[in-house]
Structure 1
């Protein structure tokens, strides 16, 4: 039986908004069912814990917003009320955390917004906005804070905010009574590295930061009891002979923690990395073509055997079978979608 996939894109440059597709379980092929442009620039998507509600950012300038869609009919997402302004600009990422929706707002000053969630999954009011402070050495990209991602740690206690502008990750705790995010500690990474996204190892004790301004992954130890993140190593995601500018976007790990894959925008490749048994060493073993231009997002299917890349500039989603012994992806198909930015399995 085919499942459903939800794909975000930038309507401001010709994207279709939110696209719903089916996925063939035997081949991994995507077939588009329909689109809705009710929400402008739904560039990143997330699901509720029960997978019955789909959330999207609306990555629009100074007046960014978030929106909720009912998946009562998975083939036809239904907008639940009007998009809610997040009181921050250009929200790029979001997550569900302790009964709230959190958005990472990139436009200066970068911030994280906390929105209430209603019983039916719809969005309520903005409960708080945590503005980041600081800057970095790159005066074009780091003149101010730029929150690029926010996610829940595996314990469910902490919300981690990744800031490209300040070269740091903030570990926050949510006060459910007030709706305020309180910073427990801030981890400073190497100056000018430009952290973009973060993902956890299946063991829950290691985390990996994908850095956009210097093409490396930072390996960190994570202590959920203390909310402590400590960097211990870096691994480059480009081969030594790579030329030209490159801006990595996404990092995903295999369900068994043996492999990691990074999307390289510019080099237009998927970096294949092995992860040792401790989770503390990553080695680049190969790069393969992403099958398009500017891979903004990368995700695995629920089985962990296929990889999907959202190639923003070429306007297509490409998919790959992953060789189980080596982790090397082999492209097996593509779907044309203009200005595509995110792929999410329902």
Structure 2
């Protein structure tokens, strides 16, 4: 009845996370009947595991953040009783924060926030190559505190392995790379401008990959784009707020994920301590607000769904907890509030 998942956490002080109490990387379990959460094993040799993804079913990829110093990207074999390190490579960027992989082209794409770099690595037999290309984005936005320069925050590769999309919070841009024609030179990059001051943070693809949903951190709006599969270009078709109209706090949207049913989109808001839920129109791709979930903790930084779609597990960074919430697997809508709470130091990423 257990479903294994992994939690990345801050375990080494730096920059915007002076308070740390995490263990780096932790293996956890979810009871799929009751929602109970428990820890299985910790791997403290991985400092500041800021983002996780899988390559196939047997390899875990980890973005490890050194903040002011160049971070690393690691590949780890998932074995029954333990994790086995396979490779580690420099990202050549500071505050490494996100990565994605595509097994069509066997490449890993890693972004670093502080100096806005993208490193591109080949994957072969579970091992990462040194960076074959390193891009550094340029630009700025109207928010003088957060957009004083370019800040790449997310890299997502399309399912066909043709296009890479990079959210740049600092310059209000979504950068588009043609993966088959990468050169390492900035001249091969297309920039799509989002509304001024929005600060795009993360994105996900719609069910048929013809729509892209972008969460913007600085005003907590979610943007819906039509995507041209041939050219990779994006056309804005919808713009919605994720916070209540009467909210007078500071917007700070964090994670965006699509429910396995493809019927709903979930977005976390850190200072508001909630997760907004939108239903998705399967024909137009547009969103309709449904509800908000209280995460019963501070700073819901990230969350993920178990494979059945019946549970959501959320990482509350500043209250040092992860929590489980029951969902309807078919509709993708929540059916309860928090079911279980597990102490977990400064958690920032969850991956089933």
The equivalent of 1:170 in structure 2 is: 175
Query: Do the aligned residues in 2 keep the contact of 1:127 with 1:180 (CA within 8 Å)?
Result: no
The equivalent of 1:84 in structure 2 is: 89
Indicate whether 1:26 and 2:33 are aligned: yes
Q: How far apart are 1:305 and its partner, in Å?
A: 2.1
Q: Aligned partners of 1:52, 1:214: CA distance in 2, in Å?
A: 38
Can you list the C-alpha shifts for 1:208-249, whole angstroms capped at 9, x where unaligned? 000000111001001111111111110110111223112010
Q: Aligned partners of 2:246, 2:193: CA distance in 1, in Å?
A: 29
The equivalent of 1:58 in structure 2 is: 64
Q: Aligned partners of 2:131, 2:40: CA distance in 1, in Å?
A: 33
Query: Do the aligned residues in 2 keep the contact of 1:197 with 1:251 (CA within 8 Å)?
Result: yes
Q: Aligned partners of 2:275, 2:212: CA distance in 1, in Å?
A: 20
Query: Do the aligned residues in 1 keep the contact of 2:325 with 2:334 (CA within 8 Å)?
Result: no
Indicate whether 1:192 and 2:177 are aligned: no
Q: Which of 117, 132, 154 does residue 127 from structure 1 map onto? A: 132
Correspondence list, 1:322-333, <5 A: 322-323=327-328, 324-325=330-331, 327-330=333-336, 331-333=338-340
Q: CA 1:155–1:272 in structure 2 vs 1: closer, same or farther (change >3 Å)? A: same
- State which drifts further: 214-223 or 280-289: 280-289
Q: CA 1:177–1:189 in structure 2 vs 1: closer, same or farther (change >3 Å)? A: closer
Q: CA 1:326–1:308 in structure 2 vs 1: closer, same or farther (change >3 Å)? A: closer
Indicate whether 1:159 and 2:164 are aligned: yes
SS at match of 1:88: strand
Q: Which of 89, 102, 115 does residue 121 from structure 2 map onto? A: 115
Q: Which of 332, 348, 351 does residue 344 from structure 1 map onto? A: 351
Q: Which of 239, 246, 249 does residue 241 from structure 1 map onto? A: 246
Q: How far apart are 1:277 and its partner, in Å?
A: 3.0
SS at match of 1:11: coil
Q: How far apart are 1:282 and its partner, in Å?
A: 1.4
Correspondence list, 1:200-211, <5 A: 200-211=205-216
Can you list the C-alpha shifts for 1:71-127, whole angstroms capped at 9, x where unaligned? 1x144111224x32211111100011321221011012x0110123232x1222111
RMSD of aligned residue pairs (Cα, Å): 1.9
SS at match of 1:45: strand
The equivalent of 1:287 in structure 2 is: 292
Q: Which of 252, 263, 272 does residue 267 from structure 1 map onto? A: 272
The equivalent of 2:15 in structure 1 is: none
Query: Do the aligned residues in 1 keep the contact of 2:260 with 2:307 (CA within 8 Å)?
Result: no
Q: Aligned partners of 1:27, 1:74: CA distance in 2, in Å?
A: 23
Q: CA 1:151–1:40 in structure 2 vs 1: closer, same or farther (change >3 Å)? A: same
SS at match of 1:219: strand
Q: Aligned partners of 1:47, 1:230: CA distance in 2, in Å?
A: 30
Q: Which of 277, 282, 285 does residue 277 from structure 1 map onto? A: 282
Query: Do the aligned residues in 2 keep the contact of 1:193 with 1:213 (CA within 8 Å)?
Result: yes
The equivalent of 1:297 in structure 2 is: 302
Q: Aligned partners of 1:325, 1:229: CA distance in 2, in Å?
A: 28
Query: Do the aligned residues in 1 keep the contact of 2:164 with 2:178 (CA within 8 Å)?
Result: yes
Correspondence list, 1:207-246, <5 A: 207-246=212-251
Q: How far apart are 1:177 and its partner, in Å?
A: 8.5
Q: Aligned partners of 1:171, 1:133: CA distance in 2, in Å?
A: 14
- State which drifts further: 2-11 or 175-184: 175-184
Q: Aligned partners of 2:142, 2:128: CA distance in 1, in Å?
A: 37
State the TM-score, normalizing by the size of structure 2. Answer: 0.91
Q: Aligned partners of 1:171, 1:215: CA distance in 2, in Å?
A: 22
- Residue segments in structure 2 that go unaligned for 5+ positions in a row: 13-19
